[in-house]
Amino acid sequence: MQRTRWQILETLKTRGPSTLDELAKSIGLVAPTVRVHLSVLQRDDLVTADEVRGRVGRPHFVYALTERALELFPRRYDKLACSILDEIRRSEGDARVAELTTRIAERWVADHASRLSGKTLEERIAAVAAIRREEGAMAEWSRTDEGYLFRQFNCPSYKVALSHPELCTAEEHFLRLALQAELRRVGSALGDGNACAFIVKES
């Protein structure tokens, strides 16, 4: 895909629905240029445009990703993973699925132990964000008055998690173990938000 169009898709993925001016500012291009690329993305059924009328001024358009566009971001082995978990649930019950996903989270941390050992909380957050970006989660972090805000704008296991929310619990378990910190969910990509978001505090 042409680089600027992919930048637009990535911006909509991280920011959520955005106006033309917001997209132009984020990407660093003038609005007319971005509008041309948006027209192509709309033609290809990757972006939608909804007209919004404010209390004053002219109506404007808000752009958002389509389901087809979301499929361009990493989401692998969904059907196989769902089939395996479904079979475990049928044969051994929900408790067994929960136990399995927890063990996966613990193994997940062990696999990255060398990148996390001996680090401060902030260094661990940076390391975990890098790990999750490598895994396709588009992770970011920042300081807040409450501690740190950790966000993941893409869920590589989105379709599996829709049927098996135990994966979300396992991911939280992974983050707690990896960060060695208190964790509070403040957003969910499976809900109304465009990211899974957590407030992280020192334990």
What is the pLDDT at residue 162? 83
Burial of 192 (0-12, 13-18, 19+ CB in 10 A): exposed
- Give the start-to-end residue ranges of the domains of the chain: 3-70, 78-202
CATH topology of domain 3-70: Arc Repressor Mutant, subunit A (1.10.10)
Span 64-104, pLDDT tens digits: 999 899 888 876 677 888 888 889 889 999 888 888 888 98
Determine the pLDDT at residue 130: 97
Residue 163 confidence (pLDDT): 84
Q: Phi and psi of 66, rounded to 5°?
A: -90, 170
Select the more confidently predicted residue: 98 or 193: 98
Is the pLDDT at 202 greater than 90, yes or no?
no
Backbone angles phi, psi at 200, to 5 degrees: -115, 130
**Tens-place pLDDT, residues 19-56:** 999 999 999 999 999 999 999 999 999 999 998 876 66
Give the three-class secondary structure for 56: coil
pTM, 2 dp: 0.67
The stretch 8-13 carries a mean pLDDT of 95
Burial 73-96 (b: 16+ CB within 10 A, else e): bebeebeebbeebeebbeeeeeee
Interior angle at CA 73, CA 101 and CA 68, nearest 5 = 115
Domain 78-202: which topology? Muramoyl-pentapeptide Carboxypeptidase; domain 2 (3.30.1380)
Residue closest to 105 by CA, chosen among 128, 84, 121, 87: 128
Query: Tokens in use for 188?
Result: 């969910």
**Mean pLDDT along residues 135-157:** 92
